[in-house]
Structure 1
Amino acid sequence: MTRLLTRLFGRMPIGWLQLSHSRARLFAALAGVAFANILVFVQLGILGALNSSTVAPYALFDADIMISSVDANTLTDGSNVARQRMFQALGIAGVASATPLMIGALDWEDDKSSSSLQTFGVDPNAQRFVAPTLRSELSILQLADTGLIDRLTRGVPPEVFEGITRDTPLSIEANGRTVNVTGTLAVGAGFSEDGTLFVSDQTFLRLFGARSLGAPNHILVKVEDGVSPDVVVDRLRAVFPNDVVKVNTFEDAASADRRYQTTERPTGIIFGFGVLIGVLVGVVIVYQVLATDVADHLKEYATFKAMGYDQPFFLGIVFEEAIVLAVFGFIPGLLCSIAIYLGLSAATGLPVEMSVAQAISVFFGTLAACSLSGAIATRRLAGADPADLF
């Protein structure tokens, strides 16, 4: 390692030699940096799972615009929208078609488990409003009490969903009714639900007796070919009262939902704050190590100062130590975090995944945090007289 660093820096790697001189201190410092990396990775992983699970249901639909109640901050909360808004939208230039979207939560219980299913109800004739992968399955939903279920439902063994076809459906009990599941889809669990159930609007009304087709949760809109959704959004906003409904492109609605979950809801704020805590822990640990190292070698630094070496030289040594700690502490932190991600994903069913961009960003963040700690640790040397350091 010494030879490699000598070639890399073009000089004797003083920082590395100082760190490696005390193996116990070096390993303790690397463990501290790795621990800080694990803290950051875990918080980022859970925050990423929150973002992914928030926008995953949007992938079930193919719409250009979504009309919602003004108090609907997410896909599942807020008041209902009057169905008449759909007919008003159909009279706006550039609107090709529209359909209501019903959303509710069902509890599915069997002999072994209980699962909460986020349930979507749509008109089975509105095939253009669902994802292409679901369009071939939508026609079967015209049959009463049939549906499609999430094969990634948390807490349910995968073999339960094996062999489900139109000829061999899976019967489930929910809200006192039997639903025949004739197919599956893949959405995954979220923070508030275990899976997803997709049914027709009429089946939805039978499952939720208190709901009415005249008051859906949202209205999905498709624009005419060649027309910009943004232009149609402006036209709809000019017609609808902005204190009753809000109109966004479907992409903007999904982004607003994700932003609200991470910046307004307690869950997102807590995990975002956890990332900051992890960074601070890493800065403090590295600072303590480097400050102690500087204090232990004050006489050597005084000698260098007396010989004419300036502050950038000392910064270079400490930055060298910071880089060594960042690189060698990041590797075990990354490996442990990957193992933790796999365990969390298996235990919770949440999409906790390590991305390359995430790993790179944490690595450079680690370098920046360690460099900051090094700069703070050398402040004692900046204006000190060599004689004062002995």
Structure 2
Amino acid sequence: MKLTHLFKKTPLSWLQVTREKTRLIVAIAGIAFADFLIFTQLGFRDALFDASVKPHYVLDADLVLINPQFDTLFAVKSFSRDRLYQAKRVEGIQSLASVYIASAQWRNPETALERTTLVFGFDPSQRVFTLPEVNQKSSDLKMLNRVLYDQAGRPEFGPIADLLQKNPDLTVQLNKKEVQVAGIFTLGASFAADGNVISSDSTFLRLFPERQPHEIDIGLVKLQPGANIEAVKVNLQALFPKNEVIVLTLKEFAEREKTYWANGTAIGFIFGLGTVVGFIVGIVIVYQILYSDVTDHLPEYATLKAMGYGDWYLVGVLMQEALLLAVLGYIPGFIVSLGVYHLASSATLLPIVMTTPRAIEVLILTIIMCIASGIVAMGKLRTADPADIF
């Protein structure tokens, strides 16, 4: 029997699904809960990744040089500035710049509570960031002990933007040293650091006296217009021993950070496990619903067999029920997840947003989940015997 005929002429699956209203509500709630678990895990995981690579994508560079042991901004490994100077030999390079990175304690000027922030140090005479606020204020950073504050950081840092409006000479403590806030920019917090601060290289070295000026954390390479990025990358890497410096595109640099959080920490495993648990919960719930439905209506299925309908027709009805449950359960799960994303994003300041690829991914997982449950429930369906009703 054609599938189109099954859908158009025999709405048996819909009648079966909606006959027991209580069972239908339980099924929808169960699938919605499973989808909510999956949405939550994937949303938090992606927010972690997106937040962790925001600093990477505001660097004004085509290629970056890093220590091969450098996996994350929150545990940097330095290399010699001399290696960066060597890059001048390669054709196609327009400019070179360096960045220092370290974690520091920012003291809230109102409560005196301290929070961890990332500090980026650079030469203010060079264009290192794509952030307009930073480039407009870079000349102010040439004065020692001046910093720019990330206004998208955690509120526990204090109402710095408001305080700065009231007092243009606002000073705060950063790493136990007094610094003046010269301006603000917007970047955002991450799982590992609550905010970001940008300073000149001179101020950075004062904040971190244990750091050596000739040991930099990131080398930035800007290419000439029309230069072949892959060719320049190969030529650059040929200059350096791979155990000292590696050359990456900006995207590869960001992917390295994501890989660290996904595979180098327990966080990636935990979110992955949560997704699997949600998927398994959904399979169990849908299986129980479909199995109960088949058991309750076994005589009716046997009657259909006696009327000449084959096993494949009955299997088709069961698969339709599974698909209907998938769609009906997905919709409330999606809606609830949107609300939770909004609340979580407001509370954590992390970029937890619904994306079209994720919505489609979870819908596909829901359909697979329900079809898998239907396949398992087929065993009971095939026990329907016309002889049992006579």
Aligned to 2:313: 313
Give the 5 Å matches for 1:207-286.
Answer: 207-286=207-286
3-state SS in 2 of match to 1:190: coil
Per the alignment, residue 95 of structure 1 pairs with 93
| Other-structure match for 2:64 | 66
Amino acid at match of 2:378: T
- Structure 2 counterpart of 1:304: 304
CA positional deviation for 1:170: 2.9
Letter in 1 for 2:273: F
Q: Distance in 1 between matches of 2:213 and 2:160?
A: 32
Aligned to 1:54: 52
- Residue of structure 2 equivalent to 1:330: 330
Matches within 5 A, 1:33-182: 33-110=31-108, 111-112=110-111, 113-127=113-127, 129-133=128-132, 134-156=134-156, 159-162=159-162, 164=164, 168-182=168-182
In structure 1, what residue type is equivalent to 2:227?
Answer: V
Conserved in 2, the CA contact under 8 Å of 1:37 and 1:333? yes
User: For residues 348 and 234 of structure 1, what CA distance do their matches in structure 2 show?
Assistant: 41
265-274 vs 154-163, greater mean Cα deviation:
154-163
Alignment of 1:27 onto 2:25 = yes
Question: C-alpha separation between the residues in 2 aligned to 1:237 and 1:48?
Answer: 31
C-alpha distance in 1, partners of 2:39/2:158?
Answer: 29
The Cα shift of 1:381 comes to: 3.4
Query: What stretches of structure 1 of length at least 5 have no aligned partner?
Result: 1-5
AA matched with 1:203: T
Asked if the contact 2:298–2:384 (Cα under 8 Å) also holds between the matched residues in 1, the reply is no
Deviation at 1:372, TM superposition (A): 2.0
Residue 10 of structure 1 aligns to a residue whose secondary structure is helix
Aligned residue in 2 for 1:189: 189
2: CA distance, partners of 1:12 / 1:271: 42
C-alpha separation in 2, matches of 1:215 and 1:343: 42
Aligned amino acid, residue 131 of structure 1: T
**Contact 1:93-1:232 within 8 A present in 2 as well:** yes
Q: What are the Cα deviations for residues 281-338 of structure 1, in whole angstroms up to 9, with x where unaligned?
A: 1111101110111111111111111222123311221122212211221122112112
TM-score (normalised: structure 2):
0.92
Pick which of 312-321 and 200-209 moved more. 312-321
- Distance apart, 1:274 and its partner CA: 1.2
Q: CA deviation at 1:187?
A: 1.4
Question: Counterpart in 1 of 2:366?
Answer: 366
Q: 1:352 maps to which residue?
A: 352
Choose 283-292 or 93-102, whichever is displaced more: 93-102
Give the Å deviation of 1:238. 1.3
CA contact (8 A) 1:189 1:350 kept: yes
How big is the shift at 1:165? 6.5
After TM superposition, give the deviation of residue 219 of structure 1 in Å. Answer: 1.0
Q: Does the 8 Å CA contact 2:323/2:367 hold for their aligned counterparts?
A: yes
Native 8 Å contact 1:165 1:182 kept in 2:
no
- CA distance 1:19–1:116, shift in 2 (3 Å): same
CA change 1:169–1:11 in 2 (3 A) is farther
Matched residue type, 1:47 = R
Closer, same or farther: CA 176–260 of 1 in aligned 2, 3 Å: closer
Residues 389 and 139 of structure 1: CA distance in aligned 2, closer, same or farther (over 3 Å): farther
**Residue 186 of structure 1 aligns to which amino acid in structure 2?**
T
- Farther-moved stretch of structure 1 (278-287 vs 367-376): 367-376
Asked if the contact 2:301–2:384 (Cα under 8 Å) also holds between the matched residues in 1, the reply is: no
Contact 1:169 1:183 in 2 (8 A): no
Aligned pair in 2 of structure 1 residues 165, 268: CA closer, same or farther (>3 Å)?
same
1:59 maps to amino acid: Y
Pairwise CA distance, 1:155 = 3.0
What secondary structure is seen at the aligned counterpart in 2 of 1:144? coil
Structure-2 separation of matches of 1:13 and 1:114: 64
CA shift, 1:84, in A, is 0.7
SS in 1 for 2:94: strand
Single out whichever of 193-202 and 343-352 deviates more from structure 2: 343-352
Aligned to 2:11: 13
Q: TM-score, normalised by structure 1?
A: 0.92
Bigger shift: 371-380 or 219-228? 371-380
Residue 10 of structure 1: how far off its partner (Å): 1.4
Query: Which amino acid is 1:153 matched to?
Result: G
| Letter of the structure 2 residue corresponding to residue 63 of structure 1 | A
Q: Determine if contact 1:73/1:256 at 8 Å carries over to the other structure.
A: yes
Deviates more, 1:257-266 or 1:27-36: 257-266
Q: How far, CA to CA, are the matches of 2:263 and 2:371 in structure 1? A: 29
- Mapped contact 1:83–1:215 kept (Cα < 8 A): yes
| AA matched with 2:92 | G
